[in-house]
Amino acid sequence: MSTGTYSPKPGAAPMGRMITAQALFETKMLLRNGEQLLLTVVIPSLLLVLFSSVDIIDTGSGKSVDFLAPGILALAVMSTAFTGQAISTGFERRYGVLKRLGTSPLPRWALMTAKTLSVLVIEVLQIALLTAIAFALGWSPQGNPFAVVLLLILGTAAFSGLGLLMAGTLKAEATLAAANLVFLLLLVGGGVIVPLDKFPDAAQNVLGLLPISALSDGLRDVLQHGAGMPWGNLAILAVWAVLGLGAAARFFRWE
């Protein structure tokens, strides 16, 4: 390099370009990570195929794929917005990536916007894949697509808040363990593949308030039973979103 190579010429790239670059880079990192793909793609796909074709769980009247597909879509949202985001952000914090980006021209709000965009991109890919598999298994969804999109967005907001709260407060290793454990518990107890009415009444009342139950139940009301706006479930998700994102904004530590 010749003289003058390093002559100062500072400047931030335009905001739109920075956010796009950051979102694409984070998406690339997530798609390259094997453990993340196991969680976000392989497990939901396997569960959908397995429980739709083998009659292990009593999913009530009708085709089992009609019961399972909405639950698996809810699981896909949880795996990306909560588990995946908590683990990746937790390790970014641990490895000083968040600190490093803190002195780059990218403001923190823009970093969080890029993370959200990256989560949405992965969700679109997941939903496209899982919908294709469900159709191949004979799925016949009903209902209002707008209600479905609203549920997915509020669900993403609720899970993102909780995932970021965990990533921003716990140690990366603790986040890794806890996020996987919560994923497993909510997979079983959140109406994803096991109908909530299989649980005792008292347990049902509590489990029904979980974000995963509100999301899977709401999606099922619309997609399986053709219901209108599932206001109750939307309200539960909205409360989780406000609490989770509020707590994350308050308690998140960047280092």
Partner 1 sequence: MRSEPVVQLTSVVKRYGSKTAVDGLDLEAAAGITAVLGPNGAGKTTTIETCEGYRKPDAGTVRVLGLDPVGQAAELRPRIGVMLQSGGVYSGARADEMLRHVAKLHAHPLDVDALIERLGLGSCGRTTYRRLSGGQQQRLALALAVVGRPELVFLDEPTAGLDPQARRATWDLVRELRADGVSVILTTHHMDEAEQLADDVAIIDAGRVIAQGSPEQLCKGGAENTLRFSGRPGLDIASLLKALPMDTQAAELTPGSYRVTGTVDPQLLATVTTWCAQHGVMPDRISVERHTLEDVFLELTGKELRG
Q: Tell me which residues in 18-37 interact with partner 1 (CB under 8 A).
A: 18, 21-22, 25, 29, 32-33
Q: Tell me which residues in 78-97 interact with partner 1 (CB under 8 A).
A: 91-92, 95-97
SS (H, E, C) 215-243: HHHHHHHHHCCCCCCCHHHHHHHHHHHHH
Q: Tell me which residues in 164-193 interact with partner 1 (CB under 8 A).
A: none
Can you tell me which of 46, 62, 104, 203 binds partner 1, judged by CB under 8 A?
104
Can you tell me which of 13, 46, 206, 249 binds partner 1, judged by CB under 8 A?
13
Element (H, E) at 41: none
- List, as one string, the DSSP characters of 176-200: HHHHHHHHHHHHHHTTSSS-GGGS-
* 250 in contact with partner 1 (CB under 8 A): no
Instruction: Give the shortest CB-129-to-partner 1 separation in angstroms.
Output: 22
Instruction: Give the shortest CB-162-to-partner 1 separation in angstroms.
Output: 23
Q: Tell me which residues in 33-72 interact with partner 1 (CB under 8 A).
A: 33
Q: Please answer whether residues 145 and 136 qualify as being in contact, where contact means their C-beta atoms are separated by less than 8 angstroms.
A: no
What the block records as the tokens of 247 is 């707590």
Can you tell me which of 200, 202, 250, 255 binds partner 1, judged by CB under 8 A?
255
* 106 in contact with partner 1 (CB under 8 A): yes
Distance in angstroms (rounded) separating the CA atoms of residues 65 and 128: 16
Instruction: Give the shortest CB-64-to-partner 1 separation in angstroms.
Output: 37
What the block records as the tokens of 194 is 């096991």
Q: Alpha-carbon torsion 209, 86, 153, 149, what sign? A: negative
Give me the helix-helix angle, 85-94 and 172-189, nearest 10°: 170
Instruction: Give the shortest CB-117-to-partner 1 separation in angstroms.
Output: 15
Q: Which residues bind partner 1 (CB under 8 A)?
A: 1, 3-14, 17-18, 21-22, 25, 29, 32-33, 91-92, 95-97, 99-100, 102-107, 255
